[in-house]
Chain A
């Protein structure tokens, strides 16, 4: 070569925007950017002990009493934006009902009532709205919840993607049930209720982004009957969480931080459908980070793990349930994965938007 050698000195890398000034799509990905936004903007403003518990739903006692005797309610809210509105296995309506039913169920509560707020885009066909609303009706019947209040707003054409739905849910927590993200204990077993990534990949496929045919159906489903079946066989359920955006990896990281424990999972035991695994291979995604809408993570006392697993596998929404890991007493490790090779790697939260790799 004519030139001598490229030098390494005095090089490189300007500091980029940290994205703490302007909202980017990654803030809605359920990963670390979302986590930072919640802690730096929302929690800072609204801080209170209920919100600070960091669970899928907030818990209140009615009537409020110093001795905390009364009916305990779980309350959660969730907004649903999905493109396309209809996808294999579900639609935005089913998603809006199940998403909130599941969040409420993750405190062990029995969901009873939902409210629904609709933001409709000018130009949306009423037939489409009717189809979505009928799907909500079906999902509510399935989950045995009633939709008891609602709201409708219409925005100008071009200001929304057809329609957005917010739902808020209320459920009753039976006495004796104390499930929380802070309750994982060293020695506990980690159970996942089924295969990972079905929803995320089904939606990508429905968007036409895969450029190949994928027979993948979203797992969107109400999990309250599964939770109630689990509660019938064991009182040793410490944590429940539905790993939606950000996937299993992000949820486990949140739990490890909340409970101040470490978590070890075993790669070979994690259930993933072959079609989802293949799509992830081609796109450069990791199923551990892909969204689910009908799965739950249960962290349970070791002695009850097998019993719970059997009860989950007997339920249609838990047929592929598997014990995938253990809680450890090394909180600094957060979440680690044991590979089939006997090696170990760290599993971090999803950082921002999930991006396909170049090659």
Chain B
């Protein structure tokens, strides 16, 4: 496959890994923000190739894992109502709420459908005027533009039967939270290429400056990730903390301006609850007041659902890079993808699921 196979070239990856090994002189801790990168690292076994002492920790960049229990419960409450078609990205169906998941709601008769984009949900709303169609608008900066676009489209089409259950999260405030924590171990970051394709990487310069950490924007293929690690290691060894772009075939400094405009048109910043982490100030987006008509939480009166998370698994610590999945006593015993105790075991991008699937069981 053109533009993919080149970046999976084992010979090239080995050259970069050798360069990393030659460059490293002492232990370093690097966090990959994005769950997609965690999965690539596990899938290709890149961590097995790195020199001893160079540690990768897995960040909170899995939108499925960090969507709060409260939002999951709201989604279940809405999906269970009559005459609703509840649409969602596929892997949200498995995330446990307080009393069930979207699979079980569907099994008891609700119309829950997997879509690839909020724009597919618009089409479903047009085709089913007698039903209310709700889209579960979760995700980072990557999914926000299309979700904002769906609101604009629904408005333009005069769709009265379409709404969004919005639970958007943003990367930079999460990085602030991790780096500002007294327990922080992270010394350098691989920034998530897809998020940066939308937002650019101008937001990371103040973070690199404030906390004196290098940040390298990179992609998801083995060669991208290896190259990103090499650049972070070089910066760490030199004691510099700039932001570099190792994913220039996709990402520019400014990012995708029309996409950012679309986000700013429809959404405004808000404090957001992250599952396993807690509330991070200004870390979310919600619909602006002028688009409240499309707010599913309001339309279906589920604003008052606010369950308390019980302290069972250590997903929160894993998402902040303080623990590895195998350090959890429940990992791979009580907690498996079929019987997950935490969202990090549920999502295909979750760190626990990545460890489990790709065999890090001991």
Contacts and interface: CB of A to CB of B under 8 A. Distances in A.
B46 A12 contact: no
Q: Tell me the interface secondary structure of chain A in the complex.
A: loop
Given A277-B1, A346-B359, A359-B36, A11 B93 contact: no
Nearest to B103: A24
Contacts of A10: 311
B348 A278 contact: no
B338 A36 contact: yes
Contacts of B312: 12-15
Contact of A12 (B44, B114, B316): B316
Nearest to B195: A359
A344 B357 contact: no
B162 to A, nearest CB: 19
Contact of A356 (B89, B97, B143): B89
Interface residues of B, number: 88
B315 A12 contact: yes
B265 interface: no
B348 A12 contact: no
A8 B316 contact: yes
A281 interface: yes
Contacts of B99: 17
A355 B114 contact: yes
Interface string B338-355: 111111000111000000
A12 B276 contact: yes
Contacts of B282: 1
A284 B40 CA distance: 12
A345 B1 contact: no
A264 B140 CA distance: 37
B14 interface: yes
Interface stretch (B177-185, B227-235, B237-245, B247-255): B177-185
A345 B355 CA distance: 10
Contacts of A284: 348
A8 B320 contact: yes
Interface string A325-359: 00000000000100111111111100111011111
Contact of B14 (A33, A277, A341): A341
B24 to A, nearest CB: 19
B8 A340 contact: yes
Contacts of B48: 343-344
B222 interface: yes
Contact of B92 (A4, A13, A347, A358): A358
B206 interface: no
Contacts of B159: none
B277 interface: yes
A6 interface: yes
Nearest to A286: B43
Contacts of B182: 5
Contacts of A25: 103, 106-107
A80 B336 CA distance: 30
